[in-house]
Amino acid sequence: MTDKKDPAEHTVAEHEHSATCGHPAVKHEDHVDYVHDGHKHAPHDGHYDEHGSHRRR
């Protein structure tokens, strides 16, 4: 299996995004992303993935 998605730069233990954590939650297709310092983080299977703000260079 290939799961090459980029992990977010923090773990669930370091900061758990939730409805009350202070980061804006935005709906992204069938899940919710949290806007975190210019990135969007999406909870996924015990960790966070980066969603939405990647810039290819």
Q: How many CA atoms lie within 13 A of 13 on its CB side?
A: 0
In the DSSP assignment, the letter for residue 20 is T
Q: Does 21 bind Zn ion (CB under 5 A)?
A: yes
Task: Give the shortest CB-40-to-Zn ion separation in angstroms.
Answer: 6
Query: Binding-site residue total for Zn ion (CB under 5 A)?
Result: 12
Task: Give the shortest CB-16-to-Zn ion separation in angstroms.
Answer: 7
Could you list the residues that contact Zn ion (CB under 5 A)? 5, 17, 21, 23, 28, 33, 36, 41-42, 44, 49, 51
